[in-house]
């Protein structure tokens, strides 16, 4: 079964929280307390989301994080890529990782499943969270 890593799940929770809050920054301390999520882990995720251009941050007394303009048009696939979760579903789909790849009928099936999964992730926009 496919599982969603905690970093993807928590990032979606963080994005949804920021979206519901609307304008203005919010500190990770506030988010951590309100959502009961680990502060240090949120910090790591917020940093990756900032690098990906999904959130922006401001330092200082009234600092914190907020969503950037246009964040809602980004996809779940964009989010997973930003978090380094763009891995193959099955190891054998990687180049040179399976000695039976040339004669494997299952490889075709896994490629089809993975392509459909990625296509779906690209169609789901972050605004839907």
Residue scoring higher pLDDT (70 or 97) = 70
Give the model confidence (pLDDT) of 37-68 as tens digits. Answer: 999 999 999 999 999 999 999 888 878 999 99
Q: Is the pLDDT of residue 91 over 80?
A: no
Full domain range(s) for residue 61: 6-128
Distance, in Å, from the CA atom of 26 to the CA atom of 49, rounded to the nearest integer, reads: 15
Would residue 1 count as lying in a domain?
no
- Model confidence, pTM: 0.83
* Total domain count, the chain: 1
> Of all helices (H) and strands (E), which one includes residue 65?
strand 64-67
**Conformation bin of residue 92: beta by default, left when phi > 0, alpha when psi is -120 to 50:** alpha
Tokens 């964009």, located at residue: 78
Would residue 112 count as lying in a domain?
yes
Specify the CATH number for the domain of residue 40. 1.10.10.10
Would residue 50 count as lying in a domain?
yes
């Amino acid at each position: 079964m496919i599982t969603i890593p905690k970093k993807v799940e928590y990032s979606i929770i963080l994005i949804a929280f920021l979206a519901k809050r609307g304008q203005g920054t919010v500190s990770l301390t506030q988010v951590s307390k309100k959502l009961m999520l680990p502060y240090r882990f949120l910090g790591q995720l917020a940093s990756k989301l900032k690098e990906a251009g999904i959130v922006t941050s401001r330092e200082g007394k009234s600092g914190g994080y907020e969503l950037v303009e246009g964040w809602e048009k980004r996809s779940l696939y964009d989010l997973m890529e930003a978090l380094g979760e763009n891995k193959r579903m099955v190891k054998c789909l990687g180049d040179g990782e399976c000695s039976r790849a040339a004669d494997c009928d299952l490889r075709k099936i896994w490629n089809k499943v993975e392509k459909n999964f990625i296509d779906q992730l690209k169609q789901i926009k972050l605004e839907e969270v």
